Structure formats: structure tokens, C-alpha cells
């Protein structure tokens, strides 16, 4: 009977591969509402859209092997229960529900699931992480691509898609789409120059540098009536096609858009698996959510760092390793083992998630000049907050950041285990109870390099989207 089971399994896999059309596979998108508060949530379908371009991914990479993110979805053949497509992701709702506001009121957020268009009805299963940090099913809905209410038409193309980097056919590569927001029609050339400049900065940083040929980069902007995006804390209010703005969740430097459907209707005109939004502002700021998008202030002196750091969140699900800056989220309570690949609660040093990269003579936890770092940070953060409160020129903030970068790199670079992989306490917005892999990393300070653990986590995502190189 064993050979028969093997044949049956092979036939099931073949059926999954054939569930999508071949070369002409379209892209199906399910836009849905995610509503609720800190304690409960619900989901409902808003619209099902057939996007105008073919699916950019490889049919050999339909199943998510990494299982990162706060959420996970599967596209399933209901007749055979075969998983046809799956991906992990995080969401704005998932972040908002950790804020104080979510304990006081309900809010609704638009979210989207994209996958190769199936040839027949499918079932979507959505999972969220539970108290054990495991994925538990929270919603299911059936989608028929032939239903009369599926949208085949769409808004006109908002502008020209410009190729920034062309490394080969989309199914073989990672497709990164750079969108511009807050650029007027007269600033099209400025946007393209920013997209070129900052994507080049990304490919100067390992491991993106070594994998540059695994990426295609496209650029697209819908013109804004005025330059810049909204920054309410600075008295700047703007309407822009993507709706990007500062002050998300009350954090003056956090740049997000809550206009998911507008974002998707513009992005659908280019091949993409990942999105970076450049905002045409000078003020320091950005944001990044795994599997959703990342943002960066293109006019900031620190735009290269912002681009790379925030893309680390979006692309690889990397956690913030810093813990002295103010954030919108409410922390504290039980220290659960995070799903992010670069932080840990270190409940058992023998089971450290990056244990294979730790040398035998490196202690766990790993000593570092934590007290000196925190003493300096107390003064630095006060000065930083005062500059923003007083609406001082951005040049003064940039000067503060430069002084801080020099001091941090000097302090951390002289630490005994400066070049070691270990478990350094202080990460994930917490001074105690969470640990990062190395003393310094672009996810911790404004340095230029990812640590070894973050680099490996990035490479794993590249491998999930790009066909392995023959060289």
C-alpha cells in the first residue's frame, strides 16, 4: 500500500500545481475589513479584484516555508483540502491593537490578500498568533473567481512604471515596487532620482549587495497636488494619492498610510511582491510592516538608513532591537518568545534560535556596556524630544543624530564581545527580558550593517522568492 500512498501524494501535489493557470495566470486580490479592539476582532470581505497584471511569483514558491508574521493565510482547494498558496504577514490592525487607544474603542482597517488567480472556487483560511504564539484559525471565507461581483475593471493607470533594476523575468526574481507619495507632476524626475539613489543604497548593504541580481526594482508615482505628505504634529496637512502621513498612532516619526485600497489600486499596475513608499519630506521618519509595505522620508539626511532599516521590517520581519526611544505600543507584562528571527526572550540558552551561530566561549546572556549606553540615552532622548517639541529646524536634529551615531559606534565597538554573536539584553522596545543577537546592528542603531542573524533572515526570504542562481 505504501507505493499507492506515494502516488496519491504526488497526484495531490500535481493537482495543486495545476490549480492555477500557467503562463497567463492573473493576480486575484481579496480586500477585506479587519475590525475590533485590543480584545476581539472580526473580518468581512469588501471586494474581490482581478488585477490587470499577471502574477509575479514563481509557481514553485507558492508555499510559505518561513511562517513569519503575526498572521498567516492559506488558499485551499475545498474539495481536496490541498493548500495551493500560503504566506505569513503582519498588519496595521495587529500593531494598533497593542496601543492604549485599542483598549478604549473599536477601529476598522482595510487589508488585502493577493495570490495567483485560481481556476475554480477556493477557500481562504486566515490564522493569527494565539497565547502560545502559534497560528490558530480565526476566519475562513470562500472565493469564487467567476462570481458576478468580482471586479474585472479598475481605475486608470496613474502613471508610467519605470524600471530601476531589471535582473530577469518576474517569476525568477524578487519584485520590489517603489511608490512615491507627495511628489507633484513636476517632481516626477525628482522621484525617479530618489528611487534610483535609495535602491542603490539598499544594494550597498549585505546581504542585499550579494543578491542584487535577484531583484527587479520598479518605480511608480501618482502625482500629488502639493509637495509633501501630511505631518499633523508640525501643522502640515496634505491630501496625497496614497494617503501617507506622519504621526501614526501618535508617534511623530512613524509614517504609514491607512488607505489600503488606494495603495493597492495604484500598486497593481506594476509587478510587485514588496512595496517601499518614498515620501517627499525632509523630516526624519519612516515605518515598516512585514509583508505590507515600508516607508521612508526621501528628503531626510538619514534616508539611506531609513530605507534600509524599515525595509528590514517589511521584507524579513525583523524586529526593532532598540529600546530607549519612545514608541506607540504599550509594552510590559509577560515576555513571550517573539516570532521575529532577531530577538528572543532567552528562556533557555541551549535552545537559542540562533544558537548555531554562537561560539562556544561566548556567554549567554552576553555582557555589553549597557549601563553606560542607557545613561547616555537618557540625556539624548530628552534633547531629541525637546527639539521636536520646539519645532526646531531639521538641521539641528540631524546634527544630534550625527553626534549620537559617533558616540554609539565608539561605545559599542569597544565592547569585549563587539564582534560576537550572542544574546545582548535590551531589544524589542524593552530594556530587560528581550535580547538581540549582536551588540550593534542597523535594527539597533543608525549603523550601516545588519548583524549576522538579521542577514541570514533576509537571505531566507530572498530564497523564498528568487530562483537560486546558477553561479
**pLDDT tens digits for 407-449?**
999 999 999 999 999 999 999 999 999 999 999 999 999 999 9
* Residue 265 domain-assigned (yes or no): yes
CATH code for position 185: 3.40.390.10
Structural contact between residues 158 and 177, judged by C-beta atoms closer than 8 angstroms: no
Whether residues 189 and 312 fall in one domain: yes
Residue 305, domain member (yes or no): yes
SS3 content of the chain, % helix, strand, coil (to 5): 30, 25, 45
Task: Answer yes or no: is 467 within a domain.
Answer: no
Same structural domain, 193 and 310: yes
Residue 157 lies in a domain: no
pLDDT per residue over 322-376, tens digit each?
Answer: 999 766 555 556 788 999 999 999 999 999 999 999 999 999 999 999 999 999 9
d(CA 378, CA 425): 17
CATH number at residue 96: 2.60.40.3250
The confidence score (pLDDT) of residue 469 equals: 56
Look at residue 1 and tell me if it is in a domain.
no
Q: Do 310 and 411 sit in the same domain of this protein?
A: no
Do 243 and 373 belong together in one domain? Answer: no
pLDDT computed for residue 197 by the predictor? 98
Please list the residues that pair with 246 across neighbouring strands. Answer: none
CB-based contact 297:244 (threshold 8 Å) = no
Q: For residue 215, give its domain range.
A: 162-316
Domain boundary among 268, 296, 316: 316
Task: Check residue 448 and give its pLDDT.
Answer: 95
- Distance in angstroms (rounded) separating the CA atoms of residues 18 and 14: 6
Give the rounded distance of the alpha carbon of 186 from its chain centre.
30
- Shared domain check, 200 and 86: no
Query: Is omega for the bond preceding 453 within 30 degrees of 0, making it cis?
Result: no
Domain boundary, last residue among 143, 172, 204? 143
Question: Prior bond to 57 cis, omega within 30?
Answer: no
Residue 208 and residue 261 in one domain: yes
Domain-terminating residue out of 292, 316, 340: 316
Q: What is the pLDDT of residues 136-172, one digit of tens each?
A: 999 999 999 999 999 998 889 999 999 999 999 999 9
How many CB atoms are closer than 10 A to CB 327? 17
Model confidence, pTM: 0.93
Grid cell listed for 88: 505569513
- Other C-beta atoms lying within 10 Å of the C-beta of residue 137: 12
Percent of the chain with pLDDT over 70: 92
pLDDT of residue 19: 63
Residues 167, 312, single domain; the answer is: yes
Q: What domain count does the chain have?
A: 3
Task: Note whether 391 and 279 are same-domain residues.
Answer: no
pLDDT tens-digit map of 67-94? 999 999 999 999 999 999 999 999 999 9
User: Mean pLDDT across the stretch 227-240?
Assistant: 97
Q: Residue 331 has what pLDDT? A: 59
Residue 263 lies in a domain: yes
pLDDT of residue 23: 45
Residue 311 lies in a domain: yes
- Is residue 5 one of the residues assigned to a domain? no
- Give yes or no for residue 222 having a pLDDT over 60: yes
Considering the domain architecture, whether residues 105 and 170 belong to the same structural domain is answered as no
Please check whether residues 181 and 309 belong to one and the same domain. Answer: yes
Say if residue 139 is in the same domain as residue 183.
no
Say whether both 22 and 127 belong to one domain: yes
The chain-wide mean pLDDT, for the chain, equals: 93
Amino acid at each position: 500500500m505504501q507505493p499507492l500512498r506515494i502516488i496519491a501524494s504526488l497526484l495531490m501535489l500535481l493537482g495543486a500545481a495545476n490549480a492555477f493557470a500557467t503562463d497567463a495566470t492573473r493576480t486575484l486580490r481579496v480586500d477585506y475589513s479587519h475590525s475590533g479592539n485590543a480584545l476581539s476582532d472580526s473580518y468581512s470581505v469588501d471586494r474581490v479584484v482581478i488585477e490587470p497584471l499577471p502574477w509575479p511569483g514563481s509557481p514553485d514558491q507558492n508555499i510559505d516555508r518561513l511562517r513569519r508574521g503575526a498572521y498567516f493565510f492559506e488558499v485551499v482547494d475545498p474539495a481536496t483540502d490541498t493548500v495551493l498558496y500560503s504566506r505569513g504577514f503582519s498588519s496595521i490592525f495587529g500593531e494598533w491593537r497593542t496601543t492604549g487607544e485599542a483598549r478604549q474603542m473599536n477601529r476598522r482597517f482595510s487589508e488585502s490578500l493577493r495570490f495567483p488567480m485560481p481556476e475554480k472556487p477556493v477557500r481562504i483560511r486566515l490564522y493569527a498568533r494565539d497565547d502560545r504564539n502559534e497560528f490558530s484559525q480565526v476566519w475562513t471565507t470562500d472565493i469564487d473567481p467567476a462570481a458576478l461581483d468580482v471586479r474585472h475593471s479598475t481605475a486608470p493607470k496613474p502613471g508610467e512604471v519605470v524600471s530601476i533594476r531589471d535582473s530577469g523575468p518576474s517569476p525568477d526574481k524578487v519584485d520590489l515596487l517603489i511608490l512615491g507619495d507627495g511628489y507633484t507632476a513636476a517632481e516626477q524626475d525628482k522621484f525617479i532620482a530618489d528611487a534610483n539613489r535609495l535602491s542603490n543604497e539598499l544594494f550597498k548593504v549585505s546581504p542585499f549587495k550579494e543578491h542584487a541580481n535577484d531583484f527587479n526594482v520598479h518605480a511608480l508615482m501618482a502625482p500629488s497636488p502639493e509637495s509633501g505628505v501630511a505631518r499633523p504634529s508640525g501643522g502640515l496637512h496634505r491630501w496625497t494619492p496614497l494617503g501617507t502621513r506622519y504621526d501614526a498612532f501618535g508617534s511623530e516619526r512613524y509614517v504609514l498610510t491607512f488607505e489600503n485600497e488606494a495603495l493597492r489600486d495604484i500598486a497593481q499596475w506594476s509587478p510587485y511582491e514588496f512595496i517601499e513608499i518614498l515620501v517627499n519630506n525632509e523630516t526624519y521618519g519612516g515605518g515598516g510592516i512585514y509583508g505590507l509595505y515600508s516607508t521612508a522620508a526621501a528628503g531626510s539626511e538619514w534616508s539611506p538608513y531609513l530605507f534600509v532599516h524599515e525595509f528590514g521590517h517589511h521584507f524579513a520581519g525583523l524586529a526593532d532591537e532598540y529600546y530607549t526611544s519612545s514608541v506607540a505600543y504599550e509594552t510590559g507584562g509577560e515576555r513571550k518568545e517573539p516570532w521575529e528571527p532577531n530577538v528572543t526572550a532567552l528562556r533557555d540558552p541551549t535552545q537559542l534560535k540562533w544558537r548555531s551561530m554562537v561560539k562556544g566561549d561566548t556567554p549567554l546572556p552576553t555582557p555589553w556596556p549597557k549601563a553606560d549606553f542607557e545613561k547616555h540615552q537618557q540625556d539624548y532622548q530628552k534633547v531629541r524630544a525637546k527639539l521636536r517639541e520646539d519645532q526646531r529646524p531639521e538641521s539641528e536634529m540631524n546634527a544630534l543624530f550625527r553626534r549620537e551615531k559617533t558616540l554609539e559606534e565608539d561605545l559599542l565597538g569597544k565592547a569585549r564581545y563587539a564582534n560576537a554573536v550572542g544574546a545582548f539584553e535590551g531589544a524589542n522596545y524593552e530594556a530587560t527580558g528581550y535580547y538581540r543577537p549582536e551588540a550593534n546592528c542597523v535594527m539597533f542603531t543608525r549603523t550601516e550593517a545588519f548583524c549576522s542573524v538579521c542577514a541570514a533572515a533576509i537571505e531566507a526570504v530572498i530564497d523564498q522568492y528568487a530562483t537560486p542562481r546558477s553561479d
